[in-house]
Amino acid sequence: MVTNISHQGKGSSNSCSHCNLKKICFPHGLSASELSTFESSVDQTVKLQKKQKLYSRGDTLKSVYAIKAGSIKTYLSTSKGQSQVLGFHMPGDLLGFDGFADDTHSSDAVAMEDTILCELPLANFENLCEVLPGLRKVMMQQVGSEINRHHSLVLTLGQMQTEERLATFLLRLSCYYQKRGFSCVQFNLPMPRHDLANFLGMAPETLSRMFAKLEKQQVISIQRREVTILDMDGLLNLSHEMCTHDVA
């Protein structure tokens, strides 16, 4: 059970209409009047400190969330204390849909850094989907994205070599930043290496060797968590991702 989450009323300074993520978040595709209706239902933001949980596996589904700043890791834990990272979620991503199957969350969600989220209570969400067709479309797109993400992960872990797994992940992250208006060739990894290794299905030592190999091939350079892509074509050749970049 999550405790001590900080809530803050939603003022005009952080309303949807003023948010630079509105084109990729819940309000995407809503008209001005629909956006006003939507904003009245999102009446608070949630602030999490680093390593603080948003929800735990088995918690009752109460809200869905949109990340405004920071990043969230979702994962599963076993009774023996082992864990499997399911995904890394960053600004513009939506969370909480894992609870739609049986009204309980099927995974844990924890902040990888200080994080701010917009919270949409489930009752409001269901009512809004009835009156705002655009919001229902966003929901269906998000569910579809989760299915695609799962399929991609199965392919990555089941068919790719370790070097290909890392290259594919970096390219996907590059595409993510480009779609949000940031540099696609220089960006930070929000997750620690042991979590990334877990997600990619390899030992941390193997991940370090793969980073070193890509640096030696002059495909990337890396300083702590800052990655610079030096050879986009080389990264594309190593990966199995179909993503176009405009790096001029």
Nearest-10 Cα torsion for 24, 93, 87, 212: 60
CA 142 to the chain's CA centroid = 11
Statement: residue 223 has pLDDT above 60: yes
Which of 151-160, 173-182, 199-208, 227-236 bottoms out in mean pLDDT, i.e. has the lowest?
Answer: 151-160
Q: What is the pLDDT of residue 169?
A: 92
247 — pLDDT class (breaks 50, 70, 90): very low
Percentage of residues in the chain having pLDDT higher than 70: 80
Tell me the three state secondary structure of residue 209: helix
199 — pLDDT class (breaks 50, 70, 90): very high
Residue type, 110: V
Q: CATH 1.10.10.10 spans which residues of the chain?
A: 160-238
Q: Which has the closest alpha carbon to 176: 162, 161, 187, 163? A: 187
Q: What is the pLDDT of residue 228?
A: 98
125 or 194: whose pLDDT is higher?
Answer: 194
Q: CATH 2.60.120.10 spans which residues of the chain?
A: 6-146
Q: Which has the closest alpha carbon to 220: 176, 175, 186, 247? A: 186
CATH topology of domain 6-146: Jelly Rolls (2.60.120)
Q: Does domain 160-238 have CATH number 1.10.10.10?
A: yes
HEC profile for 8-27? EECCHHHCHHHCCCCCCCCC
Residue located via tokens 């655009």: 134
132 — pLDDT class (breaks 50, 70, 90): confident
CA-CA distance, 196 to 207, in Å (whole number)?
A: 8
- C-alpha distances (whole Å) from 57 to each of 72, 103, 129 are 15, 11, 25
110 — pLDDT class (breaks 50, 70, 90): very high
With beta carbons less than 8 A apart as the criterion, state whether 104 and 59 touch.
Answer: yes
Q: What is the pLDDT of residue 125?
A: 79
Give this prediction's pTM: 0.82
- What is the rounded average pLDDT of the residues 202-225? 96
Q: 63-87 pLDDT, tens per residue?
A: 989 899 999 999 998 888 889 999 9
Q: 37-58 pLDDT, tens per residue?
A: 777 777 578 999 999 999 999 9
Q: What is the pLDDT of residue 248?
A: 32
Which tokens is 72 given? 């969230």
Which of 79-83, 132-136, 154-158, 172-176 bottoms out in mean pLDDT, i.e. has the lowest?
Answer: 154-158
